[in-house]
Structures are given as C-alpha cells and as structure tokens.
Structure 1
Amino acid sequence: MFFSVIIPVYNRPQEVDELLESLNRQSYKNFETLIIEDGSEKRCKNIVEKYTDQLDIQYYYKENSGQGFSRNYGFTRAGGDYFIVFDSDCIIPPHYFETVNQYLEEHSVDAFGGPDRAHQAFTPTQKAISYAMTSPLTTGGIRGNKRHAGTFHPRSFNMGISRQVFEETGGYRITRMGEDIEFSIRIINSGFKTALIEDAFVYHKRRTSLKQFYNQLHFFGRARINISRFYPSEIKIVHLLPALFTIGFFVFITLPLWNLSLFKLFLYPFFFTCALLFTHATYKNKSISIGALSVLASFIQLTAYGHGFLQEWWAKLKE
C-alpha cells in the first residue's frame, strides 16, 4: 500500500526538521511526503532539501489559506492509496506506517486516526500538557483508546483517509476553528467507516508553555460551538463538562467573598481532585515535578476550553 503524507506548515522550520527525521526512520518505506508551506515568512524549504536524497518528498509554497485548505491543496497533488495528515509539531515512531499498513490489510476502513503520547525528550511542561490532553481523569482522555464513546472521529494531527473519501467529500470545507471535527462528521455522515488504530500513535508536542496551551484550548472550546453552526446536534453532554467545571470553579474561588463556611466545605473535594490528578500523573510520568505541573495543566485544559466554549456560545446567541 502506498501512502501520501500531507503536512501543512506555518513558520515552524525546526519542527519540520524533527518530523522529517522521524519519517526517515520508518521501517515501512512505501510513502511520499508533501510539505505544504502555507504562506510562511520562516520557510522550511532548506530543511526539506536536506531530505531529498532520503525521502520521496515534495515541497510546495502557497499563499496563506489556513491548515484545512492547505491539506486540500496537498490532497489534490497526492498519489497515494491513503492520505495521512500530521501536524508539523508531531514526531512519528518508527513502526507507524508498518502498523497502519498491517491494520488496513486486515480491516476495511475508509478513515482512521491514532492517539498521541509524550516523547521522553519532551520538556516537563510538554509532558504535563500531554497528560492533561490524554488522561482518563480529564475530558482529554475521552478519545484515543478502545473505550472511546460512540463512533470514532479522527483528528487532523494524526489522521488518514482513503483516496475515495477525499474524492467523494471534497476534503475540508472550513480551514480553521474545528475544521477536522467538521470533516470527520461529514465523513461519517457520508457512510464511510472510521476506526481508531491504538498502536498508530504519534508524539505530539502541542504547546511549549502553559500560556500557549491555554490559548490553544480556549480556541478549541470556541471551535466546538462553531461546529454547532453546521451541525446543531453535535453538542453532546461531554462537551458541556468543561463549561460546567469552569462555572463551578469560578463560583468556588469567589465563595470566600460571600460564604466562607461553604468555601471550607468545598475545599475537601477540591483537594481530593488535586491529589488524585497529582498521584496519577506522578505515577504515569515517574516524576513528582511533572505530577505537580500536570495538576495545573489539567485545570487549564478544562477551564480554557470551558471559557472558550461559553464565550463563543454567547456570541452565537447574539447572532
């Protein structure tokens, strides 16, 4: 099976270098790589040229149109049986394509995705962020394993589609703000079969600081409401949880201003939650400092998403 890897890039040459190096280490070699430079000022063409003798690679520069339409640009130029999309801040383990190829030989699947993990070389902050986005104790942990709820919706940091899926759906219809969610919903509504390939994971850097992480999750919360403009029924109870948590946390931290006794009562579940997150994250990462950072990252994951969700919901009500 021949794969086409589509990677949109915007001002991240160093990330592309690490990603291409990981692709060069793949045990399964039957794939091409298309780098789509989306109007970057910091171009990665020189980085790509380092790998022309090692990878079947193509470089394209285009005017900025956002990541969704840049992926479409790559799809129209790809020659593979399946198109695989990675974010530029991913590192791909050596077995990835071998794992995907074996799965597709044994299962009839039109679109698939895999989970993400923290690489051992990640910074403590990146490992804490990865924990918050994958832990079963946060809403980040509702995807990426066999026990995920409902039909699996692939996400574009690690996603594959057959050529037929692209030809029949036309690819992405929006370029940002939930573009991969909208695409996944439309793939499923078109009757195509999706699957999670648990062992086809990637190491996803996401953000390098907690401030960047907050901004990213705030945008994710807004994106979920944006998707409801296209598919009103796609707001599920699980999507409301971060918003409810955010409201509850705001009430909790303001309780001392009007009811100190009630505040003291809620201190117990608050500290229990923190202790549970700290213990689990410390065990998973074998590090007390990452465990402590993971508590903060988990609260950011929930409140940033919840804030963005509520902000965009209010904006939608005023439309």
Structure 2
Amino acid sequence: MFFSIIIPLYNRPQEIDELLDSLTRQTYTQFEVLVIEDGSKLDARDIVESYRNKLDVRYFVKENEGQGFTRNFAFGHARGDYFIIFDSDCLIPPAYLTEVNRYLLEHKLDAYGGPDAAHPSFTPVQKAISYSMTSPFTTGGIRGSKKNLGGQFHPRSFNMGISRKVWEATGGFILTRLGEDIEFSIRIHSLGFKIGLIPGAVVYHKRRTNFRQFYKQIHFFGRARINIYKFFPETLKLVHFFPALFTIFIIFTLLMNILVFPLAVFCNLFLAVFALLIFFHSWMENKSLNVAALSVIAAFIQLTAYGLGFMQDFWKRIILKSS
C-alpha cells in the first residue's frame, strides 16, 4: 500500500522541521509527503526543500482557506492509495506506518483514527495538556476509544486516514474549521464506510505550549460542537453537556464561597476529590509530581474552556438562532 501523508501548515516552520525529521525514520517507506502552506506569512519552503534527499516530499503554496479546504487541495494532488492527515505539531514514531499498513490489510478499514500521547521530550505543561486531552476524568477520555459515551468513533484530523475511495465518494471536507473533522467522520459513517480505531497508530501530539493557548484551542472546540449540531442534531449527546455543567458548577461554587459559605462546603469537597483523582491518576501515568499538579490545572482549563465555548454558541446559535 502506498500512503500519501498530508500536512497543512500555517506559520509553523519549526514544527514542520520536527515532523519531517520524524518521518525520515519510518520503518515502512512506501509513502509520499505533501506539505501545503495555507497562506502563511512565515513560510517553510527552505526547511521542506532540505528534506528532498531524505523523503519523497512535495511543497505547495495556496491562499489561506483553513485546514479543511487545505486538506482537500492535498487530496486532489495525492498519488497514494490511502491518505493520512497529520497536524503540523505531531511527531510520528518510527513504526507508525508499519502498524497502520498491517492493521489495514487485516481489517480493511476505509477510514481510521489513532490515539495521541506525550513524547518524553515534551515540557511538563505539554505533558499535562496531553494527559488532560486523553484522561478518563475529562471529555478527552472518550476520544481514543472504539466505543465511547459520545456514540460512534469519530477520527480526529491530527491523526486520521482515509482511503482514496472515501475521498472520491465524499469530496472531502465541507467545513474548513470549527469541527470539520467530526462532520467529515459523520458523513463517512453515513455512506456505509467502515471506520475504526487503530490502537497502535499513536502519534506524539504537542498541542499548545502554554495554558493560555490551550484555553483558546479548547474554547474553539466547545463552539465547534454546536457547529456540528447545526448539521447533525442527532449527534449531540448528553456527554457533550458535561463540561458546560461542570463550568456552571464552578461558577456556583465561587458564588457560594462569597455569599453563603456553609453551602459551599460540599461543593468544595467535590472539587477537591475530583482534583485529587486527576492528580493521582496523572502521577501514576507520568511518574512526575510536577506533571500531576499541572494536570489538575490543565483538566480544569479544558472542562471550563470547552464549557464556556459550548454555552456561548448554544445560546447564540440555538437559543437566539443567530448565524
């Protein structure tokens, strides 16, 4: 099987250098790489060109349209039997393509997703963010499972593959951002294609490098869930309301601590137990007290940021019916 690896890029030359370097160590070598500069002001042409002797790599420049339509552009230029999408802030383990090729030959998936993990070189904050995004105590816990509380498994575009047949049948992404990967996955499901999780197709996903950037990203994800609802109302599940309910509970607890402290005791106790669960679980996972403490902060940021974004667009687009 010949793979086309597709990487949209926007003002992140350092990231593409690290990603391409990781691809030079793949044990399975039947692949090409397409790097698409999506209207960047900081281009990576020289960096990509430096890998010409190490990878079958092609570099494209186009006007800024967002990651969804940029991936469509790449699909139209890809030569592979199977297209693999990575975010530019990923590092790819050497056996990734070997594992994907083996699994696809055995299970005949039309589309797949893979998990993400923290690389040993990540900073403590990046490891904490990675933990939060994959933790069973946050909504991240439903993202890397074959069966989850959110219903069908939906591959996410930081680590996602589709067959050429899927591209030809779907025409690719119809949204360029704000939940475009979930909308795409739902349409793939609706056409009867077989989608699955490849457990061994792990990437090291850097995500954001500080909590402020992380908050902005997750707030965007909360808004994206409402955008998906506008296309597929039936996909909005009870689990998607959990961050909003958690955020309301946090606000209520803060008010009770100011206005009626005795009533806040039980709220404070609940939050303390929740924080301790995250702390000790992260400690066991990461073997670091520092990362464990930061994981508590990351988890609370993830839940409240998602909750606020979700409530913002729920009120605006569903209650007020504004576009």
TM-score, normalised by the number of residues in structure 2: 0.97
Q: Aligned partners of 2:258, 2:144: CA distance in 1, in Å?
A: 41
For residue 139 of structure 1, report the CA deviation from its aligned partner: 1.1
Q: Aligned partners of 2:280, 2:38: CA distance in 1, in Å?
A: 42
Alignment of 1:116-265 (within 5 A): 116-149=116-149, 150-265=151-266
Alignment of 1:1-319 (within 5 A): 1-149=1-149, 150-316=151-317, 317-318=319-320, 319=322
AA partner of residue 78 (structure 1) = A
Q: Aligned partners of 2:270, 2:315: CA distance in 1, in Å?
A: 30
Q: Aligned partners of 2:257, 2:141: CA distance in 1, in Å?
A: 32
Q: Aligned partners of 1:148, 1:123: CA distance in 2, in Å?
A: 29
CA contact 2:275–2:296 (8 Å) conserved in 1: yes
Q: Aligned partners of 1:270, 1:249: CA distance in 2, in Å?
A: 8
AA partner of residue 157 (structure 1) = F
**Runs (5+) with no aligned partner, structure 2:** none
Q: Aligned partners of 1:63, 1:256: CA distance in 2, in Å?
A: 51
Q: Aligned partners of 1:253, 1:294: CA distance in 2, in Å?
A: 21
Tell me which moved more, 140-149 or 252-261.
140-149
For residue 138 of structure 1, report the CA deviation from its aligned partner: 1.1
CA contact 2:90–2:158 (8 Å) conserved in 1: yes
Q: Aligned partners of 2:294, 2:135: CA distance in 1, in Å?
A: 14
For residue 147 of structure 1, report the CA deviation from its aligned partner: 4.5
For residue 148 of structure 1, report the CA deviation from its aligned partner: 3.0
CA contact 1:4–1:84 (8 Å) conserved in 2: yes
SS at match of 2:77: coil
CA contact 1:7–1:34 (8 Å) conserved in 2: yes
CA contact 1:151–1:194 (8 Å) conserved in 2: no
Q: CA RMSD in A?
A: 0.9
**Runs (5+) with no aligned partner, structure 1:** none
CA contact 1:242–1:306 (8 Å) conserved in 2: yes
AA partner of residue 57 (structure 1) = V
CA contact 1:2–1:82 (8 Å) conserved in 2: yes
For residue 145 of structure 1, report the CA deviation from its aligned partner: 3.0
Tell me which moved more, 126-135 or 143-152.
143-152
AA partner of residue 2 (structure 2) = F
Q: Aligned partners of 2:23, 2:245: CA distance in 1, in Å?
A: 41
Which consecutive segments of 4 or more residues in structure 1 shift more than 4 A?
A: none
